[in-house]
Amino acid sequence: MSDNTMSQSRRAAVKLMLGGAVAVPFISLVGVSGARAADLPHVDAKADPTAIALKYVEDATTATRADKAGTPGAEQSCANCQFAQGTGDWVGCSLFPGKAVSSKGWCMSWTKKA
């Protein structure tokens, strides 16, 4: 194999990598993105096995909550939980992959957001 052929292969690889790096910002402008929490199915507190096990409720005021991590039970909700992902009325939750929870909800895995 000659040095000229190897140099051309390297040049082609570098061009391909640079082209890919330049294309990434344009892909996001086109609107290719992941699902938003508002588009995800909501967790069914009465039928989802994980929700039942974690005692998830859509309205935190109806939950029996103990003080955790120095936070009074009345101040605990999905909106200020470390597992919640995003903002809005419905948010993603790492405990319920592919589903959204109410930001006003609560479950027994609630942990104060850092």
pLDDT tens track for 38-64: 789 999 999 999 999 999 999 999 998
CATH code for position 91: 4.10.490.10
What is the reported pLDDT for 31?
46
92 confidence band (pLDDT: 50, 70, 90): very high
* Average predicted confidence (pLDDT) for the chain: 83
Rounded mean pLDDT of 67-83? Answer: 91
Task: Specify whether 24 is located in the same domain as 55.
Answer: no
Element (H, E) at 9: helix 3-30
What is the reported pLDDT for 89?
93
Handedness of CA 67, 69, 75, 81 (dihedral sign): negative
Q: What is the pTM of this model?
A: 0.66
Number of H helices and E strands in the chain, helices first, is: 2, 3
Task: Specify whether 63 is located in the same domain as 102.
Answer: yes
Q: Could you give the number of structural domains in the chain? A: 2
Task: Specify whether 45 is located in the same domain as 99.
Answer: yes
Task: Specify whether 40 is located in the same domain as 88.
Answer: yes
What is the reported pLDDT for 80?
95
- Please give the residue range of the domain that contains residue 16: 1-33
> Could you tell me which of 100, 95, 106 has the C-alpha nearest to residue 60?
106
Task: Specify whether 47 is located in the same domain as 98.
Answer: yes
